[in-house]
Structure 1
């Protein structure tokens, strides 16, 4: 913890203890790895990228076939460590394609209960713990 001094309204200095930022526990375990997130909400992609970055991983996003061709998933799968799919925000076709592709390439498939940031954060934490064991 770092000490910092602030001056109060009476001109007196007072010590304020500021917590030092800590790295997430799994950062070493996922460092340099790429993960694919298929589906979800476009407005959350930047937040999901930040969460992945906090763990040292790179997030590749595919919208699940809304604007991008579903066939692009097949070309990305061999280059990623695992694939996350929020089951509430993905088409059946895209989900089936991901599951089939993961079986063929031996890539981990991780279904998420929903497309929330907290659901993804929990899954990343579990993945990082498994990677460090």
Structure 2
């Protein structure tokens, strides 16, 4: 299983189509469960992550335009039915009272309330292990 964290991810696009808000992350910090005899988690990243929120309502921070909601994520929080989700499973799906908030390093802020959220990695980009020491 692979899980991503929102902090330090890169936000490339925020798309609004009716009641669906889609966030496109070209790269997100990730952790993958080890395989075989070595079951230790492995740190790395996932390319091309998509977070879709259905029956969604988008709110931008004061004085912030949607076009400014791009770049490095400083802080991100997903809360489902009042409980924080620290790491998002990919693929993953959450239903209930969903809220997602992102604060970007450029000062932009956005909040999304929804009834359902999905996190996918289309195209099978696959987990990439970090080689940092």
Structure number with the bigger relative contact order (C-alpha 8 A, sep ≥ 6) is: 2
Please confirm whether the aligned pair reaches a TM-score higher than 0.5, indicating the same fold: no
Report the TM-score range of the alignment, normalised by the length of the smaller protein: under 0.3
TM-score for the superposition, normalised by structure 1: 0.22
Larger C-alpha radius of gyration, 1 or 2?
Answer: 1
TM-score for the superposition, normalised by structure 2: 0.22
More strand by share: 2
